Amino acid sequence: MTDPGLSEKSDKEKQWKEERELVNRFFEVVRYQTTGFWDVHRCRAFWSTELPKVPPELLAPVLTELLTMGVASAFSDGEEKALKTMRKVFK
């Protein structure tokens, strides 16, 4: 007989691993999209099929990190330029 607690733990670990793989895939697609490595159709296919599989509680920290990286990158070009760009975006 198998231990139900062990089976449940194994299922949770498997689910966690699958979710982490999806989050890593999300990072990969964002990187490909920003570098122009993927065309629009390939990116749209990912956004419509794979992204909905990522749980929101995992996606929120990833999006926060990407936003932070984007803001840091923008400010590396100069504070005044970054603020000017942000003003254009939020108009």
Q: What is the largest distance, in Å, between two alpha-carbon atoms of the chain?
A: 67
Write out pLDDT tens, residues 5-21: 667 778 888 888 887 78
Q: Is residue 43 over pLDDT 60? A: yes
Domain ranges of the chain: 1-54, 55-91
- Check if the beta carbon of residue 57 is closer than 8 Å to that of residue 21: no
Whether this prediction's pTM lies above 0.75 is answered by no
Ranked by mean pLDDT, which of 8-17, 29-38, 62-71, 78-87 comes out on top?
8-17
